[in-house]
Amino acid sequence: MISMKEVWKKYPNGVMAVNGIDIEIEKGEFVYVVGPSGAGKSTFIKLMYREEKPTRGDILIGGKNLAKIKERQIPLIRRNMGVIFQDFKLLPSLSVYENVAFAMEVIEESKANIRRRVMNVLEIVGLKNKARFYPHEISGGEQQRVSIARAIVNNPSVLIADEPTGNLDPDTSWEIMNILEDINNRGTTIVMATHNKEIVNTIRKRVIAIEGGRIVRDEAKGDYGYEK
Ligand SMILES: Nc1ncnc2c1ncn2[C@@H]1O[C@H](COP(=O)(O)OP(=O)(O)OP(=O)(O)O)[C@@H](O)[C@H]1O
Ligand SMILES: [Mg+2]
């Protein structure tokens, strides 16, 4: 499903953020990416959805090599991936419904079908009753749920998350995790960078630890492994 071979990333300022990563992630896996601040977790995640291009190495996702594709092919690749961030990144002038519908690939799709699909994903994240609200009218946890709905509206095979609970209180973080587990149980592969020790040590999944741009640990049902 996702395969990285000898991947390196050097930023234009000379920082080597990823130093020869090899990894295989199978379809349907749930993977936590942990490690100290500055370890290269976000860079690793960004390489996966081609926000950053590797300096060296191959990144195969669903048979396509992200290191080799042309700029104009990027949207095609991203159609098959959902991405969520710590700061939600919703469009403030659009309603909850519109934020999700806006992300939908609507090639020759009827209005009724769009509506059905958007309401369906809003139901999955428990926000059907807030479809008309605007981002500033809902809580942080609800905003993150909208961003999850937006990320899954095109039925991606991979969901990538960079500290999705980073801005949320503990209760809300658990709610978000329930939704992500639910999505994973429906077959979506999930890769999630996190600093949340409690979550990693409670909802046990594969753990990849990155330090200095290298994978230093890769464990099935692993633990967080750091003090905080
Ligand atoms: N756009 C950039 N240009 C130059 N250097 C960068 C850039 N983004 C990140 N870096 C550097 O690359 C290294 C890895 O950063 P990265 O953001 O991947 O770490 P991280 O593990 O996600 O950290 P955190 O836990 O704080 O989010 C750091 O040294 C960082 O300063
Ligand atoms: Mg980061």
Q: Work out the average pLDDT over 166-180.
A: 96
- Cα of 194 vs centre of ligand 2, distance in Å, is 8
Atom of ligand 1 nearest to the CA of 16: 12
Task: State which residues form the domain around 123.
Answer: 92-154
Q: Is residue 114 part of a domain?
A: yes
**Better pLDDT: 46 or 106:** 46
Q: How large a percentage of the chain has pLDDT more than 70? A: 100
Residue 150 CA, ligand 1 centroid: distance in Å: 26
User: How high does pLDDT run on average in the chain?
Assistant: 95
Which ranges in 68-154 belong to alpha helices (H)? Answer: 74-78, 96-103, 111-124, 140-152
Residue 225 in any domain: the answer is no
Residue 201: inside a domain: no
Would you state the pLDDT for residue 222? Answer: 97
Strands 30-34 and 189-193, bridge-based pairing:
parallel
Distance CA 22, CA 147 (A): 30
Ligand 1, closest atom to CA 45?
A: 18
Of 9, 13, 15, 51, which is best to mutate to test ligand 1, by the most ligand atoms within 8 angstroms of its C-beta? Answer: 15
Classify residue 105: in a domain, yes or no.
yes
Asked, for residue 174, whether it belongs to a domain, the answer is no
Asked if residue 79 has pLDDT above 90, the reply is no
* pLDDT over 90 at 108, yes or no: no
pLDDT at 19 over 80: yes
Task: Give me the pLDDT at residue 57, please.
Answer: 97
Average pLDDT over residues 118-146: 97
- pLDDT at residue 228 tops 80: no
Closest ligand to C-alpha of residue 38 is 1
> Residue 109: which pLDDT band, with cuts at 50, 70 and 90?
confident
pLDDT bin (cut points 50, 70, 90) of residue 172 is very high
Q: CB neighbours of 192 closer than 8 A, spacing ≥ 6?
A: 30, 31, 32, 33, 160, 161, 162, 164, 180
The reply to whether 140 falls in a domain is yes
Q: Is residue 125 part of a domain?
A: yes
Judged against a pLDDT cut of 90, whether residue 210 lies above it is answered with yes
pLDDT for the residue 107: 72
Prediction pTM value: 0.96
8 A C-beta contact, residue 39 and residue 13: no
| pLDDT number for residue 75 | 87
- Has residue 25 been placed in a domain? no
If you measure from the C-alpha of residue 63 to the centroid of ligand 1, how many angstroms do you get, rounded to a whole number? 28
**How many structural domains does the chain have?**
1
The reported pLDDT for the residue numbered 115 is 95
If you average pLDDT over residues 156-175, what whole number do you get?
96
Distance CA 53, CA 46 (A): 8
